[in-house]
Amino acid sequence: MERADETAFLWLNSWVGHFPWLDTIVQWVVSDYLVPVMLALALVGLWFHGATATARERNQRGVMTAVLGLALANLAIEVIDHILPFRPRPFSTLPTSLLFYKPVDSSFPANPAAVGFAIGVAVALYNRKIGVALLAIATVFSLSRVYAGVFYPLDILGGAAVGATGSLLGALLLRWAEPLPSMFLKLARSVYLA
């Protein structure tokens, strides 16, 4: 499995330098700012979006699930980092064309994939159209990190699984915690924050 992971990484990373315009786009996409800020702004916009009160509440529940899913995914990554052995980044062990700075944390699981997929899955549970768009953004963001030389494909799959699981568990916890989420939304509406 590790050999296939390295082979897939080397194939994708081998395209660096062949298309300078693509390298430039990837450098923008892989940054620590562009996609995370886009995802955060999408959540803020979604909080206030909805043609009807029911649609707006469904979107708000998606945002609450995303926040809880992010918290659970980050907690899971902390636990995984303490349990599993450190996995070096591809640029540490393989000939790599690097388009990004050299992170020092463990390669597995990929934190950016966990964040993107936690948000995408959470939103998709309540608003399929916007959720699918956010999942597409998370996928491009994650694959760009492989192309740029900082993650193996299995790191991305692991991070995506952690993020998706965090949001699915977050949705279950919000259902279990009812009526607290409804009370929170009612309070937010009373002060014009929802």
Residue 96 has phi, psi (to 5 degrees) of: -130, 140
Q: Which pLDDT belongs to residue 24?
A: 94
pLDDT in tens, 84-113: 999 999 999 999 999 999 999 999 999 999
Q: Which pLDDT belongs to residue 139?
A: 97
Q: What percentage of the chain exceeds 70 in pLDDT?
A: 100
Burial class (CB in 10 A: 0-12, 13-18, 19+), 118: buried
pLDDT of residue 1 exceeding 80: no
Residues 6 or more apart in contact with residue 137 via CB below 8 angstroms: 35, 38, 39, 116, 120
H helical segments located in the chain: 2-13, 20-29, 34-48, 53-83, 90-93, 111-126, 128-147, 153-176, 180-190
pLDDT in tens, 178-193: 999 999 999 998 998 8
Q: Which pLDDT belongs to residue 193?
A: 85
CATH placement of domain 2-190: 1.20.144.10
The identity of residue 98, as a single letter, is L
Q: Which pLDDT belongs to residue 112?
A: 95
pLDDT in tens, 142-188: 999 999 999 999 999 999 999 999 999 999 999 999 999 999 999 99
- Residue 140: C-alpha distances to residues 71, 133, 182, 194 (Å): 22, 11, 34, 31
